[in-house]
Amino acid sequence: MNRLPALFLALALSGCATVSKKSDLEELKPTVDKFHQLIRWKDFRSASRLLVPERRAAFSRARVELHDERDLSITDYEIEEVRLAEDGAHATVQSRIQWMRLPSASENTAVVLSEFVFRDGVWLLERQDAGPFVDELKGALP
């Protein structure tokens, strides 16, 4: 009889762990959506707030130097997959982004892998492997 309460406790605790991971994923999705929407509508200042602090200055500086407010148009994006790492503090997001940057009239399309980290209670974008911001967000952190 004493095993039954222990079994219920184990099930309850494992259930809580599952809920916690779902909660983290549910917290990540709005950040991913918001970042994509902000860049689509050229709100780069707000988008930079969703980056890890070490990347913000380079990201903002590049937007000004490349005249992205005028010359960059994110024409479409689709979030294809969101994967949460086992540790619950890292996530990989795969999205397809289409953009044009003047003076080119060609539309570019890339499948972009974005890495997000959970820091100080919020999800932040750490790096991307392709897309219109690859120069500022690629590779190891400075």
Render pLDDT for 16-53 as a digit per residue (tens, 0 to 9).
333 334 446 788 999 999 999 999 999 999 999 999 99
Q: Is residue 142 part of a domain?
A: no
Q: Is residue 3 part of a domain?
A: no
Show the low-confidence residues of the chain (pLDDT under 50).
1-23, 141-142
Percent of the chain as helix, strand, coil, to the nearest 5: 45, 30, 25
Domain containing 104 equals 25-137
Q: Is residue 116 part of a domain?
A: yes
User: Which contiguous run of DSSP H or E holds residue 44?
Assistant: helix 44-48
CATH code assigned at 85 = 3.10.450.50
Give me the pLDDT at residue 127, please. 96
**Domains held by the chain: number:** 1
Average pLDDT of every residue of the chain: 85
Give me the pLDDT at residue 25, please. 79
